[in-house]
A = this chain, B = another copy of it.
Amino acid sequence: MASRPTLVSVAAQLGLSRQTVSNAINAPERVNPETLKRVREVIAASGYRPNAAARQLRTRRSRNLGFRLFPTVDGINGAIMDRFLHSLTENLQLHGYRMTLFAASSDRAEIDSYGELLETADLDGFILTGTHHGDERGRWLMEREVPFVAFGRPWSTDDSGCPYPWVDVDGRAGTAEATADLLGRGHRRIGFLGWPESSEVGANRRSGWEAALSGVLAPGELKSLSVGVPDGIRDGAAGALKLLANGATAIVCASDSLALGASEQLRTASPGVPPAVIGFDDTPVAAAVGMSSVAQPVEEAARHIVKIMRGLLEGPAERSEPAAHVLLAPRLVLRDSGGPLATPIAL
């Protein structure tokens, strides 16, 4: 046993042909049950594993999927990408798939990489993140019939008619739930701290807040209780100040970064009272400071994506069914929203 076993060496050991051994692995139903058993025993004993390169050369399948790494922008919200990536890798692994990373600084660069990766690395498909309105990536991939699943809606006029599969989290439902919770605690003038209009994810999250308050506040009041700022703690603090000035007593935020800033402003405005602020993404920072936040079920999203992807890759070639769309409900994680930053802990 000098070198690694191959199909031929295993077959020779059994007095069978390579193809029978191959069938035992890939199409067991074609093999005589008794033979199958013998083959399997020898495979297990010899530690034989099919060579990926040879298989790939013949089948044109690599069992490798591409995933683009974005330049790190905000490490606070980026933390959920971490969880997503881990969960994705883990789930793919369960089914014999692997993930190949690549870096790209823009969507255009990402598309350029597709060609490169498809041709040189024989990737079977891609997983897209950060989709936005007018995203060219989906179109490019569809034109070439490259399998892919997006984490995030396309944000086109009619998401449900989208020709490619996506999995997303219902941000709107999340902010609505957060707002409802604050209403239940007696708040009426609840502000929304989000991103500028151009952000589709932001608009979606804002809509949940708006819907929850539509019967409570007048449209004019709603308008004065919503601000859009870039993402970040400082921006959040600045935005919160404006909301406070407009009479807000509680704030629902589009991200934990914003919420962290807002939280501090509310605390300064009314010392002693735990700030009624709810963040988004339930990042470790939120957990650490004891801030309530809307948690995205990224693990569940990863599972769905893997399932859909497997359907694309392993399902029948003629798939006339429409592309799968999964919208997952987030979960509101309630904490005291005050925590150690407000009240020093005694030993």
Contacts and interface: CB of A to CB of B under 8 A. Distances in A.
A34 interface: no
Contacts of A102: 89, 93, 98
Contacts of A50: 120
Contact of A121 (B74, B98, B345): B98
A288 interface: yes
Interface string A49-77: 11111101100001010010111101110
Q: Which of A51, A53, A93, A285 has the most CB of B within 10 A?
A: A53
Contacts of A122: 51-53
B99 A100 contact: yes
A327 B261 CA distance: 37
Interface string A21-32: 000000000000
A27 B70 CA distance: 35
A223 B39 CA distance: 66
B103 A100 contact: no
A85 B101 contact: yes
Interface residues of A, number: 68
A316 to B, nearest CB: 24
Contacts of A117: 98
B86 A71 contact: yes
Contact of A75 (B4, B69, B264, B285): B285
A242 interface: yes
Contact of A101 (B75, B99, B264, B344): B99
A242 B346 CA distance: 9
Interface stretch (A136-144, A169-177, A230-238, A272-280): A230-238
Contacts of A237: 340-341, 344-345
25 contacts: A4-B119, A51-B120, A51-B122, A52-B120, A53-B56, A69-B86, A69-B89, A72-B79, A72-B284, A75-B284, A76-B79, A76-B285, A89-B101, A89-B102, A90-B103, A98-B100, A98-B102, A98-B117, A232-B288, A233-B288, A233-B340, A241-B345, A257-B288, A261-B340, A264-B341
The 4 nearest A-B residue pairs measured at CB: A75-B79, A75-B284, A53-B56, A233-B288
